[in-house]
Amino acid sequence: MSKILVVDDERGIRESLDIFLSDEGHAIDTASNGREALLLLKQHQYDLVLTDVRMPDMNGIVLMKEIKEKMHQPIPVIIITAYGTIQSAVVAVKEGASDFILKPFEIERLREAVNKALENEREKLEYKLFQQEGKNRYLNLMNQQLDRTVFELAILHEIGKTINSTLEINKIVSIILEMARQSVVADKAQLFLYNYDKPGLALTISYSTEEAGQTQKNDSLDQDAIDWAIWKGEPLLLEDVNQHGSLKIKTEVASDLGALLIIPFKRKSRILGAMLLANRAGGRIFTQEDMQFSITLANQAAIAIENAQLYAELQDHFADTIRALISAVEAKDAYTYGHSDRVTRYTMMIANQMGLSQVELRRLEYLSLLHDIGKIGIEEKILRKSSTLSEEEWSVIKNHSVLGASIVEPIKFLEEGQKTIRHHHEWYDGSGYPDGLRENNIPLYSRIIAVADAFDAMTSIRPYRDSLGTQSALNELRCCSGTQFDPMVVEQFMTAYGG
């Protein structure tokens, strides 16, 4: 139902239009002149105005102009006049009339003009809404893309920070994988690294929505698809693995999986691994945008993993070099052969028990291997002497911790290395050497090495005595806890050793 205003100074015309248009299903108001019409237009909302041209005070053309200028919403106007000519029709249309009807009007012509004007208005309104809707949709889309870009940048920033802060492969891959899973909203995410010792891909880390952060064995799930992607050297995006027969994915696996995204990654044509993202059957399908972003993440992973692998290799070489150096020291005294390795083993037991980080463990491993490196500068005859040492000889021996500290000083990445080695013979009660430090003033690493060192010394054979035996050595540690040794470190060693 449309609301129509009929404006005519002739009462008979007003009434007959009212009757006819009401019968057509419209709601009608009438006005006998322009002013009355403008008043009604201010009070009500009309879909159409039918106006006579010749009226006292204000003619229909002026009224139409007022309507066009003053109304917030455009209202179609049909001009009705008994004095119409072609010229006045042209003027009316020029001024914006929807139609022009001559009196006496034919019912059919009137019906057609009213319906057409209302229809046009409806279409205009719909088009406007459509345009507005289109704009809204476009804005929504742009907003979604913006959100996505901000999210992706935040993830890349986070990954960049992680990569710069650590060289631990496990930490890097787990963060990259979890970020990838979140960003493409996957049910399952796995990262496979190429194992060059035993050629093939090995599952390194696996996340799923059910078992977050679980590292699993490679159960060869999805292996065919991964092999395919690696073989092609290209990312693989499947909307539905069950409809991709050529991959021959195992039935029991395929039945659970829906969409699949596999991104192989390599550096300088060397395959490093592949990232797999999957959703369960009937779940979300991955998009090209998901694939593009996953490729970016995989490239980041490739750089980080390669760096970490190179660093690990470098560390292994460094460890080998240290061991060679230690062998040179231990060769001076057959009784201390293997001492540094054993001290390192006990040190690692304590450090693991204390929950030190991977980086700290590695550092402490090197430092415990190197703790007696200062003995390299001490004459063999003093080191091998089985009889009681003179005071002078004893002070030469004691100087090995100071000598060792100066040897490791240039090794920049062994932070705290110099202090650790200098103070590994300090006593918890302050009666050790070289500086008589006490309690927590002694570096933690030195306190740990001190316990490991003493335990090995007691359980090894010396030229002047037999081994004390494990139990006596453990008792001795307990006995000297709080005087020679840090009680906390002794406690940790006891727990780790099971003593």
Binding site for Fe ion (CB under 5 A): 372
Quote the tokens at residue 445.
């690493």
Contact (Cβ atoms closer than 8 angstroms) between residue 450 and residue 431: no
For 179, counting Cβ atoms within 10 Å of its Cβ (0-12 exposed, 13-18 middle, 19+ buried), the class is: buried
Q: Cβ 337 to Fe ion, closest distance in Å?
A: 15
Q: Cβ 343 to Fe ion, closest distance in Å?
A: 9
Pick 99 or 372: Cβ nearer Fe ion: 372
Pick 372 or 486: Cβ nearer Fe ion: 372
Contact (Cβ atoms closer than 8 angstroms) between residue 268 and residue 250: no
| 415 residue type, one letter | E
Residue 193 phi, psi (nearest 5): -115, 145
Pick 290 or 372: Cβ nearer Fe ion: 372
Q: Cβ 375 to Fe ion, closest distance in Å?
A: 7
Q: Cβ 265 to Fe ion, closest distance in Å?
A: 47
Pick 230 or 468: Cβ nearer Fe ion: 468
Can you tell me the distance from the alpha carbon of 373 to that of 453, in angstroms, rounded to the nearest whole number? 13
Q: Cβ 372 to Fe ion, closest distance in Å?
A: 4
Pick 294 or 460: Cβ nearer Fe ion: 460
Q: Cβ 412 to Fe ion, closest distance in Å?
A: 23
Residue holding tokens 């200062």? Answer: 374
Q: Cβ 423 to Fe ion, closest distance in Å?
A: 11
Bridge partners of 467? none
Pick 20 or 433: Cβ nearer Fe ion: 433
Q: Cβ 450 to Fe ion, closest distance in Å?
A: 9
Pick 121 or 372: Cβ nearer Fe ion: 372
Q: Cβ 421 to Fe ion, closest distance in Å?
A: 9
Under DSSP, is residue 199 helix (H, G, I), strand (E, B) or coil?
coil
Cis peptide before 434 (omega within 30 of 0): yes
Report the residue closest to Fe ion, judged by CB.
Answer: 372
Pick 193 or 378: Cβ nearer Fe ion: 378
Q: Concatenate the DSSP letters of all residues of 100-160 into one string.
A: EEESSPPHHHHHHHHHHHHHHHHHHHHHHHHHHHHHHHHHHHHHHHHHHHHHHHHHHHHHH
Pick 51 or 344: Cβ nearer Fe ion: 344
Q: Cβ 497 to Fe ion, closest distance in Å?
A: 20
HSE-CB at 249 with a 13 A cutoff on CA atoms is: 22
| Cα–Cα distances in angstroms (integers) from residue 453 to residues 202, 262, 331, 409, in the given order | 38, 50, 18, 21
Q: Of 10, 42, 46, whose CA–CA distance to 28 is shortest?
A: 46
For 233, counting Cβ atoms within 10 Å of its Cβ (0-12 exposed, 13-18 middle, 19+ buried), the class is: exposed
**Residues in Cβ contact with 41 at an 8 Å cutoff, skipping those fewer than 6 apart:** 5, 49, 67, 71, 75
Quote the tokens at residue 346.
């006990």
Q: Cβ 228 to Fe ion, closest distance in Å?
A: 58
Pick 372 or 426: Cβ nearer Fe ion: 372
| 492 residue type, one letter | Q
Based on its alpha-carbon atoms, the radius of gyration of the chain, rounded to whole angstroms, reads 45
Q: Of 336, 343, 342, 309, whose CA–CA distance to 425 is shortest?
A: 343
H or E segment and range at residue 367: helix 358-370
Pick 191 or 421: Cβ nearer Fe ion: 421
For 35, counting Cβ atoms within 10 Å of its Cβ (0-12 exposed, 13-18 middle, 19+ buried), the class is: middle
Pick 319 or 402: Cβ nearer Fe ion: 402
Q: Cβ 493 to Fe ion, closest distance in Å?
A: 17
**Residues in Cβ contact with 139 at an 8 Å cutoff, skipping those fewer than 6 apart:** none
